[in-house]
Amino acid sequence: MHISYEKLWHILLSRHMTRETLRKECKISSNTIAKLGKGQNVTTDVILRICAYLDCNLEDIMEIVKD
């Protein structure tokens, strides 16, 4: 199993936002954005900051996918 952040990217597209805007507004590193893009693990602190900024829940930005 792995985590997919496809839902996050769809939210950004629907709100006409870039990954760079998300990075700056949530104060996360470019390395973390790259990890999100690759579906790698990031800290729960980062996930919570993204959810707070986008005013959404965890399940709105990520999901567990069975391999």
Q: Per the structure block, which two tokens stand in for 21?
A: 């805007």
DSSP 61: H
Residue 35 has a pLDDT of 96
Domains of the chain (ranges, CATH numbers): 2-61 (1.10.260.40)
- pLDDT digits (tens), the chain, 67 positions: 889 999 999 999 999 999 999 999 999 999 999 999 999 999 999 999 999 999 999 999 999 999 8
> Using CA atoms, how far apart are residues 50 and 56, in angstroms rounded to an integer?
8
> Using CA atoms, how far apart are residues 21 and 26, in angstroms rounded to an integer?
8
Residue 62 has a pLDDT of 96
Residue 67 has a pLDDT of 86
